[in-house]
């Protein structure tokens, strides 16, 4: 899936909206947090700090899912 976005259109959004948009983009695109931060005009470190403050996982897989994947791989 290819998503075409213009950086300048995102720069006008309020910061709270950009934060929510970053979470949504991470869920539906293959982009990394750094790429999403760049697209939305965030500093990548600041974006990660804000996400951590809200308890948003910084990886697509949660710890439980990773443990399940490891266990499934061992059972093969």
Q: Does domain 7-74 correspond to CATH entry 2.20.200?
A: no
pLDDT in tens, 1-17: 455 566 677 778 898 99
* pTM for this predicted structure: 0.64
Q: How far apart are CA 40 and CA 21, in angstroms?
A: 9
Q: Where does residue 37 rank: exposed (0-12), middle (13-18), buried (19+ CB within 10 A)?
A: buried
When pLDDT is cut at 50, 70 and 90, the band that residue 76 belongs to is: low
Span 22-66, pLDDT tens digits = 988 888 887 888 888 988 888 999 998 998 898 887 776 666 666
């Amino acid at each position: 899936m290819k998503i075409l976005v213009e950086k300048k259109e995102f720069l006008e959004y309020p910061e709270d909206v950009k934060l929510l948009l970053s979470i949504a983009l991470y869920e539906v695109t293959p982009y990394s947090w750094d790429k999403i931060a760049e697209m939305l005009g965030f500093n990548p470190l600041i974006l990660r700090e804000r996400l951590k403050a809200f308890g948003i996982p910084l990886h697509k897989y949660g710890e439980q899912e990773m443990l399940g994947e490891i266990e499934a791989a061992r059972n093969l």
